[in-house]
Structure 1
Amino acid sequence: MLKELLNTGFGAAAIIKERVEEEIKILEEKGKLKKDDAKSFLESLEKKGKDEEQKAKDEIKKVLKEVINELGLATKEDLEKLKEDLK
């Protein structure tokens, strides 16, 4: 379910990006937007998108760690410690 949710979000973002690029091209062609301004705008959108993606990934990791902790599941670190204790 999580994977589908992420894919849906990324798909929506891709569609929005395409539409924004189309609208910017139209504005450029009509002379209402300079090419440099359009490029700068798209770059800032891309950076913001990457920042938001990282925030989402960080939040997902945080939530998953909380769930693992609440369920009492063994972590990689727990297993490594157990291996060392058994030696």
Structure 2
Amino acid sequence: MIKDILYTGLGGAVLLKERIDEEVKKLEERGKLSKEDADKFLEKLQTRGEEEEEKLKEKIKEALKEVIDEMGLATKADIEALKEK
């Protein structure tokens, strides 16, 4: 289920990027946006996307940890501690 959510999100992001690229190219062709401005915009957008991706990954990790705690499942650290005993 989590994989499906991630894949859906990634698919949406790819489609969004493609549409943005198309629109930026149209603006360039019409002379309403310079090549340098377009490149800067796309770079800034990519950086922002990467930052948001990291935030999302952290939120997912936190949610999974909460679920594991609520279910009472053993973590690697718990298993290692038992092995040492």
TM-score under structure 2 length normalisation: 0.97
Counterpart of 2:77?
77
Q: Which residue of 2 aligns with 1:19?
A: 19
Identity %, equivalent residues: 58
Question: RMSD between aligned alpha carbons?
Answer: 0.6
Return 5+ residue gaps in structure 2 as ranges.
Answer: none
Q: TM-score scaled by structure 1?
A: 0.95
Query: Which residue in the other structure is 2:65 paired with?
Result: 65
- Distance (whole Å) between structure 2 residues aligned to residue 77 and residue 16 of structure 1: 40
Superposed structure 1 runs of 4+ greater than 6 Å apart: none
How far apart, in 2, do the equivalents of 1:50 and 1:14 lie?
A: 13
Q: How many residues are treated as equivalent by the alignment? A: 85
Flag structure 1 segments of 5+ consecutive residues without an equivalent: none
